[in-house]
Amino acid sequence: MKNTQETAQFRYAEEIDMGNSGNTPELLSSMIARGSCRSFTGQEVSPELINLLCAAALAAPTKSDLQQRDIILVRDADAKAKLISLVETQSWVSKAPNIAVFCGNNSRQRKIHEMREHEFANDHLDAFFNAAVDAGIALSAFVTAAEVLGLGCCPISAVRNEAAVVSELLGLPDYIFPVAGLAFGHPVAEAPAISMRLPLSATVHEDRYSATGVEDVITTYDRQRAALQPYDNQREKAKFGSTDNYCWSEDKSRQYALPERQGFGEFVRNKGFKLS
């Protein structure tokens, strides 16, 4: 088993001075060694433990204390089956014992304005953005809490592929929108696979953003990652062919060479948001 220093070095493919990482608190070690889980035992997480995770998640920072995020626990068997059918390209989701959907919620804020008879004078892109960020922060906190307890999680942005249908299924009114689903449960594997990341030396900046040498950084990362964690499959071979040099940047650029969720802006506008 790797210690935290070794885990970080593997993940970022560079040595990082983290001080005396022999004393790293368990939470931080868990965060550095974490990985998404897509394979679960059938055992459901108990309602009490889910309450604990929700309490941890919703204690996370929230923009201006506005608390513009909610969690929908999808427990009803029919609703769960419908949600799973909406993300059927991701077959692993059907075996997830627990599914939640993290939503941005700007509806409550608008209700408060009605109640207190103050104009809502910030009806622009920021209203959507703040709620989306709050939901993402809560999702991240939930995942961190679950993973430190040994549970496995994987977010599901695919719920936004059919945002209007998911919204209908979950009864989301105007100004409330799904940000991501989350599958969670007891993992089958003992330890998650650690997926390599771009080095901190390229993604953490001092004082000013710098993109100096970014192409070299990507090429090096591609090479290191392909050597240690090669992709099992090449994406969209029929369209792009196959290559001996398949790597992260090839995979990510193939992914975003194809249109995805083009109707999402319209969905958000239909929810009432002005995105100007």
Supply the minimum distance, in Å, between the C-beta of residue 259 and ligand FMN.
Answer: 16
Please state, in angstroms and rounded to a whole number, the distance separating the CA atoms of residues 18 and 12: 13
Supply the minimum distance, in Å, between the C-beta of residue 10 and ligand FMN.
Answer: 12
Measured from the Cβ of residue 42, the count of other Cβ atoms closer than 10 Å reads 8
**Choice between 109 and 144, CB closer to ligand FMN:** 144
- Residue 190's SS3 state is coil
**Choice between 110 and 196, CB closer to ligand FMN:** 196
Supply the minimum distance, in Å, between the C-beta of residue 237 and ligand FMN.
Answer: 19
Return residues touching ligand FMN (CB under 6 A).
35-36, 38, 90, 154-158, 180, 195
Please state, in angstroms and rounded to a whole number, the distance separating the CA atoms of residues 26 and 12: 20
**Choice between 79 and 194, CB closer to ligand FMN:** 194
Place of tokens 């009432």: 272
In terms of Cβ atoms closer than 10 Å to its own Cβ (0-12, 13-18, 19+), residue 30 is: middle
Supply the minimum distance, in Å, between the C-beta of residue 180 and ligand FMN.
Answer: 4
End-to-end, the C-alpha distance of the chain in Å comes to 51
Ramachandran area for residue 117 (φ above 0: left; ψ -120 to 50: alpha; else beta): left
**Choice between 123 and 222, CB closer to ligand FMN:** 222
Supply the minimum distance, in Å, between the C-beta of residue 18 and ligand FMN.
Answer: 19
B/e letters for 90-128, b = 16+ CB within 10 Å, e = fewer, are: beebeebebbbbbbbbbbebbeeeeeeeeeeeeeeeebb
**What six digits make up the tokens of 227?**
């050597």
Give the CA-trace dihedral at 137, 141, 147, 148, to 10 degrees: 140
**Choice between 155 and 185, CB closer to ligand FMN:** 155
**Choice between 112 and 227, CB closer to ligand FMN:** 227
**Choice between 146 and 156, CB closer to ligand FMN:** 156
Supply the minimum distance, in Å, between the C-beta of residue 182 and ligand FMN.
Answer: 9
Supply the minimum distance, in Å, between the C-beta of residue 69 and ligand FMN.
Answer: 13
